[in-house]
Amino acid sequence: MLRSLLLYLSERKGLQDFILRRKFARGLARRFVAGETLDEAIQVTRALNARGMLVTLDHLGESVEREDQAKRAAEAYRAILERVHEERVQTGISIKLTQIGLAIDPELCRGHLRSIAEAARRYDNFVRIDMEASEYVELTLQLFYELNDEFRNVGAVIQSYLRRSESDVNELSSRGASVRLCKGAYKEPDEVAFQRKKEVDASYAQLLEILMNSDSPLAIATHDSRIIDAAKRLLRTNSKRKAPAEFQMLYGVRRDVQAQLVAEGYRMRVYVPYGTEWYPYFMRRMAERPANLVFMLRALKGK
C-alpha cells in the first residue's frame, strides 16, 4: 500500500516542486544522493575508490519534455566523462534514456546516446543504460542492441519483476552483452510485472543463473542478502567463468555489506546519484523501504 502511494507520489510534478524547495528535504535526500554538483560527486567517488569500490555516476534527471533539456543532459554527460578522465577516478556513468529525449522522440535520443557512447569510448569509459518504466523497455533495448553491435562499452539493465525478462536475458546473453540485473523500481501492472516479492525474487534467481552460465559481463545489483549469498555460491561453482562479474549497490544503502564484499575480495560498484533533480529517485528509495521514511522523520524531529 505505502509502496504504491510513494511510487505514485514520485511521479507528481506539483509535489516535486514543493519538496525541492524545502531545505529540510534536501538534507534528508543527502543520505542517498552525493550532492548537487559534479565536484561533490567526484569527491564522493574518490572516497569510495579509496575504500576499494568502483562507482557509476548518475546525473539525476528523467522524463524531460523539451528538446533543449535533453540536449543539456547529453552535454552534461559528455562533460562528466571528460572530467572523470582528467580526475582519474574509477567511475562509469549510468544514464536514463528519458533524460536524453526518449519520451520526446526516439531519433533525438538515439543521436544523444551515440554521442555519449562515443565520448565514453574515447576516454575508455563505460555507459550503463538504466531501465525505466515498462513503457520504455522495448525502445530502450532496441536502442541498446543497435549500439551494442558497434560499441562494447555500453551495458543494459534487466528488471526481474518484468514477465518478459527471461526472453530478454536469453537474447542479451546470446549476444554476450553486458547486463546489470536488478529487481525493478517502478509501479507496474500485473499483466506486465510480478507483484509478489516471492515471485520477483524467484525470477531474479532464475535470471541470475542464466546470466552466470553465459559470457555476458554481469552486474548483480541488489542489497538482498539471500541473493548475494546465492550469487557468491554461483560464482564459486562457475569459477571458470571468463566474463567479469561484480556486485552493485546504491549509495547510502547497506554500506556495511558493501564494505564486507570488498573485504572478501569481490568487485563492488556503488551507484552514486547527484544533481538537483533528486525527487523521483529519492521517492523510489523510500518506496523500497518505507521504514526509511520513519527513520528520516525521526531524525528530523530530533534536530
Q: Provide the binding-site residues for ligand FDA, judged by CB under 6 A.
A: 130-131, 157, 159, 182-186, 221-224, 248-250, 253-254, 271, 285, 288-289, 292
Q: Which is nearer to ligand FDA, 175 or 254 (CB)?
A: 254
State the minimum distance, in angstroms, from the CB of residue 4 to ligand FDA: 14
Q: Which of 140, 119, 148 is nearest to 217 (CA)?
A: 148
State the minimum distance, in angstroms, from the CB of residue 70 to ligand FDA: 19
Q: Which of 143, 181, 183 is nearest to 162 (CA)?
A: 183
Q: For residue 167, how many other CB atoms are within 10 A of its CB?
A: 10
130 is annotated as an active-site residue: yes
H helices of the chain, where? 2-10, 13-20, 23-29, 38-50, 67-87, 106-122, 137-148, 165-174, 197-212, 225-237, 255-263, 279-288, 291-302
State the minimum distance, in angstroms, from the CB of residue 13 to ligand FDA: 20
Q: For residue 197, how many other CB atoms are within 10 A of its CB?
A: 11
Q: Which is nearer to ligand FDA, 78 or 285 (CB)?
A: 285
State the minimum distance, in angstroms, from the CB of residue 116 to ligand FDA: 16
> Which listed residue (58, 130, 168, 201) is catalytic?
130
Distance CA 171, CA 175 (A): 7
Distance CA 174, CA 254 (A): 33
Contact criterion met (CB below 8 Å) for 16 and 26: no
State the minimum distance, in angstroms, from the CB of residue 271 to ligand FDA: 4
22 is annotated as an active-site residue: no
Contact criterion met (CB below 8 Å) for 92 and 127: yes
Q: Identify the bridge partners of residue 112 per DSSP, sorted by sequence position.
A: none
What's the length of the chain? Answer: 303
State the minimum distance, in angstroms, from the CB of residue 8 to ligand FDA: 16
> Which listed residue (110, 180, 269, 285) is catalytic?
180
Q: Parallel, antiparallel, or unpaired: how do β-strands 268-274 and 54-59 relate? A: parallel
Q: Which is nearer to ligand FDA, 113 or 249 (CB)?
A: 249
Q: Which is nearer to ligand FDA, 157 or 245 (CB)?
A: 157
Q: Which is nearer to ligand FDA, 169 or 182 (CB)?
A: 182
Q: Which is nearer to ligand FDA, 117 or 157 (CB)?
A: 157
Q: Which three cell numbers stand for residue 303?
A: 534536530
Q: Which of 227, 265, 231, 271 is nearest to 249 (CA)?
A: 271
Q: Which residue numbers are catalytic? A: 130, 180
